[in-house]
Structure formats: structure tokens, C-alpha cells
Amino acid sequence: MNEQELQALWQGQAEMDVQLDPPQLVRALRREYDGLAQRIRQRDRLEYGADALVILAFGLIGYFTDSRLTQVGCGVIVVAGCYIAYRLWHVKRYRPSPAETSSLKQQLEATRAYVAQEKRLLERVAYWYLGPLYAGLVLVSLGGDPWWTGLFPIAFSTVLYYYIWKLNQQAARRKFDPLLHRFDVLLQELER
């Protein structure tokens, strides 16, 4: 298999029977995966930093405020921040380790499983990320005096969180679906 055939197969454009050259296939897979893994590591570092700031800020606000509703909301946000960090850390267990003894098929399957978990994380962002933070922000906003002053921050947060949710859904479809499809095609080719 030459480089052009490999590229066509990898991009999902080839429907012809080709002979796989495992070293070239591994190199192409590694390049694609390394780019994705680097973006995921950058995202995780950014999220951990933002999480630490959110936990610290809302922990201090909750400690120094007199409003019980605001204190409860800050507590919810602090717990949500810890849960977000846990979810990001938890998905790393699917990250494949480059084992030299693994067959090409096992490497592809492990990498595909990790990519699928990252996609699922994006698809369910409303449940593990946005929802808990939103609940805390609503409580913090309604804990002000008078309570109706919190309606604007709630409306703003609703629009912002909906936008963030839409961006994550689009990223899951545009970035992960084509990559998962290429993994499926390569795994099918290996089974022939």
C-alpha cells in the first residue's frame, strides 16, 4: 500500500480492496491521534485551572456571605467543580497506553474506545458540567437582596449555557464522528 492509498483509506474515501501496510497505518493513526490527544490535554489543563478558580472564588463567597441561599448555591458550585474535575480525570482511564506488545487491532480498538468516551463526555456536557453549575448559579443569584436582582444573571447564564451546550454537540459531531468512522473502517479492513 502506498501513502496515497493509505491516506484515501484513512479519510474514508477508498472503497477498493487494498493491502494494509501496518507500519504506515500505525504512523497515520499515531499522527491523527496525537493531534487529538494534545487538544484534549490542553482542554483538561484549562478546565482544571478554571475549576480551581471557581472552587476558590465560590468557596470564599459562600464563606463570607450572610445569605443562606447564596451559601447553599456556592456549596453546590464547589461540589460541581469537584465533580467536573473528577469526570475529566475519570475519562482518562480509557486513554490507551502505547504498548509495544499489543497488536495493531488491539491498539486501534483501545484508541477508538477512548475517542468514543471523549465524544460521550461532550455529548453529555449538560448533565455533568452545565447542569450542576447552573443549579448553583441560580441559587446564588436568587440569594441576593432583593431576590429579583438575580433574574438577569439567570437569564444570561441560561443563554450562555445553551450556547456552550450547542458548541459541544457540534464538536462531538464534527470532530469525533468522522474520526470514529475512520477507526471503524480500519478495523473492518483489518478483519478481512
Q: Say if CB 184 and CB 10 are below 8 A apart.
A: no
- Phi, psi of 17, deg, nearest 5: -75, 125
**Is 5 among the domain residues?**
no
- pLDDT tens sequence across 115-160: 999 999 999 999 999 999 999 999 999 998 888 888 999 999 999 9
Alpha-carbon gap, residue 167 to 139, rounded angstroms = 25
**Is 10 among the domain residues?**
no
**Is 142 among the domain residues?**
yes
- pLDDT tens sequence across 58-102: 999 999 999 999 999 999 999 999 999 999 999 988 787 766 557
Q: Say if CB 14 and CB 190 are below 8 A apart.
A: no
Domain range holding 48? 21-191
**Is 138 among the domain residues?**
yes
**Is 171 among the domain residues?**
yes
**Is 1 among the domain residues?**
no
Length of the chain: 192
Answering whether pTM is above 0.85, one says no
When divided into structural domains, the chain yields a total of: 1
Between CA 98 and CA 104, with CA 102 as vertex, the angle to 5 degrees is 95
